[in-house]
Structure 1
Amino acid sequence: MNRQRALLSIHIAAILFGLTGIFGKLIQGDPSVITAGRAGFAVLALVAFMRFQGTSPLHGIKQRDMRVMALAALMLAVHWVTFFMAVKIAGVAVATLGFASFPAFITLCESLFFKEKISKDEWLILLLVTAGLVLVTPSFNFRDDATIGLAWALLSGLAFALFALINRRAAAGIPAQQVACWENLFVLVLTAPFAVSTVAQLGTLDWLWLAMLGIMCTALSHYLMVASLSVLNARSAGIVIALEPIYAILFAAILFGQYPTLRMIAGGMLMIGAIIWSGLRQVEKTHTA
């Protein structure tokens, strides 16, 4: 893969990530059904891909790896369920911008659990994200559905931050598609009992959206991101992935007429800018270490 194809791949991955909320809005099912279906189709796609490569999901996996991946999958399941709750309640724009707070949660969790000192720049990034969230918040009244949805989105961001921290250990020395396969399988097992009672209510079109969500926005997007990182540096990839909320809001405006207010746009710009800055700082740390 050359640089031009790598840039195209990472942009496609960001667009697919941005479509996640769109499919969540289109599927006429509750968040547990959407999460279970997404995970199930992703497992099928990843197993097929590994068989095509001549590898097995079981290759080199140890019992300790299973325990760590199961814990990561628990956080992933919470992340997906709460994100789709936010989409259903408040819409794609609010859900996506609320979830975009996860880098700030990662910084706070690293400080809390690993006793890593937060630098002045990191405090400034946290302040920018907080200011962005204040602007994004429709009102400070929990009788407002949009505010409740944003709260679910923030919980989704926190769960994803914990998933990312656990996944650093889960992914150590194991191929990315193998980790993704097992974690999606665990998500399916965790959410299937809650989805069984309502799965019969899904229509034919819902199953199509679920398949696209699991195959395109989960399995394919993950593969494209990993493949592009074999050519691009983390700085270039991080800047593109930070565009995910913009893609999501654009699609929501076109498909559902969900237009963000100027206040939300200003808050989103603050948050996305802080996320990009945070990513650039991590790259600089890596280069100077």
Structure 2
Amino acid sequence: MDVWLFIYFKMQKDRILNLLHLHFIVFIWGFTAILGKLITIDSLPLVWIRMGLATLFIAIYLLFTKFSIKISRKTFWWLLGGGVVVALHWVTFFLAIKVSTVSVALAMMSTGAFFTALMEPFWYKRKIIGYEIFFGLLVVVGLYLIFKVEAQYVFGMTIALISAFLAAVFSLINGKLVQNHRPSVISFYELGVGVLFLSIVLIVKGDWNMSLVVLPTSDWIYLSILAVVCTAYAFIASVKVMKILTPYTVMLTTNLEPVYGILLAWFIFGSEEKMKPMFYVGALIILSTVIANGILKQRANIKKRVPKI
């Protein structure tokens, strides 16, 4: 009995520490939205440079630690898909910020948990839980209120919803990959694939020229922070916590990003980020749904893990 209790409390301690770490990562991601607003270039070259710099830093890290980057062919195809998905997720995310506001884009990103709830039962071949459907309907109500009162940002909100869906897909892909591979190796391949994918897109669009790297000094400073802190570090760390936390828990916690990001936006941009009251009602409904869903998930996990004595 004592051994089982020790194992149980050790698991709970590891889970709490990883959950706190995840919250710190989410705060960094909230700051990512602020940087996206401050950087003057378009979303596509922004993400291309971000992923390029981050890939370089992770490559240096792997060289220093001497970790093997050898992977199987099957894993490579999963990483290829993950790299394309995360590149598209970031491009749509920053595009949504630039055509609307930080608050609007981040509020829409809260729907990531809803998309994950829809896909996870099929992904992991488990039964659909009734309250997930109910909470999904509440999310729709919250979205309706936001779309109704902030109609001028419909395009930005639509792009942000696409980004949220891609984030959910990416979370599910990495939830499987992290079980057998180092987070740094996963990040290296996915970010590298993203750079190659966006390079092809830039070439096809005819935007492959020196203007991609001739930028104001302030842009390079913001991009460096974005690449090192908000991407290289946060990317590896977020994948690492998946060894302890489920993809659904990660996505639920990630939905607190609007809280951190909107508060930062208020502080930095002031009145530019003020929305109509019903916008916050809709956002509150979505976030409350996320929290309630997380509580129910946690209770279910505790019941499963507590040993019978």
Please, what TM-score do these two structures have when normalized by structure 1?
0.85
Distance in 2 between the 1:222 and 1:256 partners? 26
**Aligned residues of 2:150 and 2:276 also touching (Cα < 8 A):** no
Distance 1:248 1:114, change over 3 A: same
Distance in 1 between the 2:67 and 2:251 partners? 29
- Aligned with 2:231 (options 218, 239, 251): 218
Distance 1:140 1:267, change over 3 A: closer
For residue 174 of structure 1, what is the aligned residue in structure 2? Answer: 181
Moved more, 235-244 or 198-207: 235-244
**2:231 aligned partner, one-letter code:** T
**Aligned residues of 2:112 and 2:255 also touching (Cα < 8 A):** no
**Aligned residues of 1:32 and 1:192 also touching (Cα < 8 A):** no
**Aligned residues of 1:242 and 1:276 also touching (Cα < 8 A):** no
**1:192 aligned partner, one-letter code:** S
Distance in 2 between the 1:166 and 1:19 partners? 25
**Aligned residues of 2:113 and 2:252 also touching (Cα < 8 A):** no
Q: Counterpart of 1:174 in 2: which secondary structure?
A: coil
**Aligned residues of 1:101 and 1:271 also touching (Cα < 8 A):** yes
1:38 paired with 2:45, answer no
For residue 278 of structure 2, what is the aligned residue in structure 1? Answer: 263
Distance in 1 between the 2:163 and 2:196 partners? 19
For residue 186 of structure 1, what is the aligned residue in structure 2? Answer: 193
For residue 14 of structure 1, what is the aligned residue in structure 2? Answer: 26
Correspondence 1:61-100 to 2 at 5 A: 61-100=71-110
**Aligned residues of 2:113 and 2:248 also touching (Cα < 8 A):** no
- Aligned with 1:164 (options 171, 177, 185): 171
- Aligned with 2:258 (options 227, 239, 245): 245
- Aligned with 1:47 (options 59, 75, 85): 59
C-alpha distance after superposition, 1:51-78 (max 9, x if no partner)? 333314x24x112111111111111111
C-alpha distance after superposition, 1:68-116 (max 9, x if no partner)? 1111111111111111110000111100111110111122234566775
**2:215 aligned partner, one-letter code:** L
**Aligned residues of 1:238 and 1:279 also touching (Cα < 8 A):** no
Moved more, 261-270 or 185-194: 261-270
Moved more, 273-282 or 221-230: 221-230
Q: CA deviation at 1:288?
A: 4.2
C-alpha distance after superposition, 1:231-270 (max 9, x if no partner)? 9999997776443111110111121221233212222221
Q: CA deviation at 1:282?
A: 3.4
Alignment identity in percent?
27
Distance 1:117 1:233, change over 3 A: closer
**Aligned residues of 1:101 and 1:129 also touching (Cα < 8 A):** yes
Q: Aligned pairs, how many?
A: 283
Q: CA deviation at 1:287?
A: 4.1
**Aligned residues of 1:39 and 1:184 also touching (Cα < 8 A):** yes
Distance 1:232 1:183, change over 3 A: closer
Q: Counterpart of 2:181 in 1: which secondary structure?
A: coil
For residue 273 of structure 1, what is the aligned residue in structure 2? Answer: 288
**1:98 aligned partner, one-letter code:** M
For residue 122 of structure 1, what is the aligned residue in structure 2? Answer: 132
Which sections of structure 2, spanning at least 5 residues, go unmatched? 1-12, 305-309
Please, what TM-score do these two structures have when normalized by structure 2?
0.80
Moved more, 151-160 or 6-15: 6-15
Moved more, 40-49 or 146-155: 40-49
Q: CA deviation at 1:19?
A: 1.0
Distance in 1 between the 2:52 and 2:106 partners? 23
Distance 1:208 1:24, change over 3 A: same
For residue 154 of structure 1, what is the aligned residue in structure 2? Answer: 161
Distance 1:237 1:70, change over 3 A: closer
Q: Counterpart of 1:202 in 2: which secondary structure?
A: coil
Q: RMSD of aligned C-alpha atoms?
A: 3.0
**1:119 aligned partner, one-letter code:** I
Distance in 2 between the 1:239 and 1:118 partners? 17
